[in-house]
Homo-oligomer: A and B are copies of this chain.
Amino acid sequence: MTEFDQGVAVAARPDDEAVFDARLGEGWQIGAGVNGGLLLAVMGNALRTRFADDGHPDPVAVSAYYLSASRPGPAVLRTEVLRRGRSMGTGQVSLVQEQDGRPVERVRALATYGDLGGLPDDVRTTATPPDMPPPEQCISKDLAPPDFMERASFLNRLDLRLDPACVGWAVGDPSGRGLLQGWLRMADGREPDPLLMLLAADALPPVTFDLGMLGWTPTLELSVHVRANPAPGWLAVTHRTRNYAGGLLEEDAEVWDSTGRLVAQSRQLARAPR
């Protein structure tokens, strides 16, 4: 089993098909918490089992509100089916952890599931893939300072190569454009699929690095649209912000597959580093 599939594994309770148990791995940490994209993928994995029998196995739209910081360890996922439709289904999922002896909700999400493989094949996308050097000419995370890597264990699960034009912040010279981009694949070779898009949309460093702010940017809300089954191979990922104001910013991500198709788009509202 791959690291990602282990990371998102859930077990339905025998007495209640709506409730799942999971264990958030220590290998997915960022700072003291668990990577928000991995949390979304765990939640997405639980909810997808509720729609798989309807022929709607793929997350198409997922919107998550982050309530408190998740920690490595056991987690319970409570799901609710809101609507079973002909072409899509919509549900809700909540991730809860025990803290000081009582259940504390970490994330709540709404999501719509469908069959990406069954969508019509008309594509009239005007967006264009990111312009950046090939992966072998990009900056590997192996160049990151060891104390940063220690606090971001989830980066060890990834093979992440950042566009050299977007890493000026690492040497005190951020571009100020509000753009980060790079190549992404899983370190153990696990190929992308719709569920992995939920991780890919929140896997790069925060775009605020490119504005010269190297602190932590907690996510308030993250919505991901998965628009196609990604092809095997490298993913090209961009993060942009255009509206940094009032201590908050939006971060828009695009995920492009190896055939040059825009397979996922996401937007989050995050708190700027203090």
Contacts and interface: CB of A to CB of B under 8 A. Distances in A.
Interface of A: 60-61, 63, 65, 67-68, 82-83, 88, 90, 92, 105, 108-112, 116, 119-127, 177-178, 211, 220-221, 223, 225, 227-228, 242-248, 250, 262, 265, 267, 269
Q: Max chain B CB contacts within 10 Å: which of A211, A223, A225, A246?
A: A246
Instruction: Give the interface centre of A83, A111, A123, A245 by most chain B CB atoms within 10 Å.
Output: A245
Contacts of A250: 225, 265
Given A63-B110, A126-B242, A227-B246, 15 more contacts: A60-B248, A61-B65, A63-B223, A67-B82, A67-B83, A67-B90, A83-B105, A90-B108, A112-B221, A119-B245, A125-B243, A221-B225, A227-B248, A243-B262, A243-B265
Given A60-B220, A63-B110, A227-B243, A126 B178 contact: yes
Most chain B beta carbons < 10 A, residue from A67, A116, A248? A248
Contacts of A125: 242-245
B60 A269 contact: yes
Nearest to A179: B126
A220 B112 contact: yes
Nearest to A178: B126
What 5 pairs between A and B have smallest CB-CB spacing?
A119-B246, A63-B63, A127-B242, A123-B245, A61-B221
B245 A262 contact: yes
A124 B225 contact: no
A177 B124 CA distance: 11
A110 B220 CA distance: 11
B247 A122 contact: yes
A71 to B, nearest CB: 17
Nearest to A117: B246
B262 A88 contact: no
16 contacts: A61-B65, A61-B269, A65-B82, A65-B112, A82-B105, A108-B110, A116-B246, A119-B247, A123-B245, A125-B245, A126-B243, A127-B243, A223-B223, A225-B269, A227-B246, A243-B262
Given A67-B82, A83-B67, A105-B83, A120 B221 contact: no
A192 to B, nearest CB: 17
